[in-house]
Structure 1
């Protein structure tokens, strides 16, 4: 389990009242928005494998790439900007576009046995562990 360490969310129970702006200047202006455009991902250690779930609502399977190259698992999703066509004009547009990438350190993985399924906007990966320490790296096919 030393290969992937669990992380607890940093939740501030008591705000900093010593400053009229609280901890805003300590965290920076972008802190409240730092997770706004990130892919939301959960990783579980199930003993002989890792189980990864990534929320990718609105993406198509063709827009998602998963790759393992020792020691990194990379999930990449790309959404193109919607063009105004047929005389349609957006009054308000809030959905993000561009490329979204998350990379995780995972050592001792059987890259040839990684399985990926994309269903109902959720990407599920089964990542088997390997004690031999051998991994060549490859692009993962999504079913």
Structure 2
């Protein structure tokens, strides 16, 4: 019998009001704080890190290495773009993104990067495993 009720009557309960409030309140939350989405592939002798950075130029992207931490950051500068614009609605966000990765076990001297069609690719060669040298220790 309840299946024959109109849809609006079915949705009039207290839990649906709270669900709808949460959806309305946090609807722009993921887009406001979007993250740099990455894939990391194991290619045998190296890892391939692919990061989506659409809308950036090569000059906007910075890659730094501090010890065993690799940081990729990108920043849009919108000072010159807003002077004569009167927006009715603005969904294209400007700002900065940054993400850090642990690169222990990576040959940091041979890391290379390329940026094509909004995708940053980092080639991270694996470091040669340290061979443990076995030796006999004499007891005195």
SS in 1 for 2:59: helix
Q: Match of 2:3?
A: none
Question: CA distance change for structure 1 residues 132 and 70 in 2, over 3 Å: closer, same or farther?
Answer: farther
Partner residue of 2:56 out of 41, 55, 59: 59
Which of 81, 88, 91 is 2:85 aligned to? 88
TM-score between the two structures when normalised by the length of structure 1 = 0.64
Greater Rg, structure 1 or structure 2? 2
Where do 1:1-143 residues align within 5 Å? 20=15, 33=30, 36-81=33-78, 83-85=81-83, 87-131=84-128
Tell me, yes or no, if the aligned pair for 1:84 and 1:90 is still in contact at 8 Å: no
With over 3 angstroms needed to count, the CA separation of the structure-2 counterparts of 1:97 and 1:84, relative to structure 1, is closer
- Runs (4 or more) in structure 1 with deviation over 2 Å come to 32-36, 81-85
CA gap 1:123/1:49 in 2 versus in 1, 3 angstroms:
same
| Unpaired segments ≥5 residues, structure 1 | 1-19, 134-143
Tell me: higher relative CO, structure 1 or 2? Use CA pairs within 8 A at least 6 residues apart: 1
Distance 1:46 1:90 in 2: 46
Partner of 2:10: none
- Structure 2 residue runs without a partner (length 5+): 1-14, 131-140
Root-mean-square deviation over aligned CA pairs:
2.8
Separation in 2, partners of 1:69, 1:124: 19
Aligned length: 109
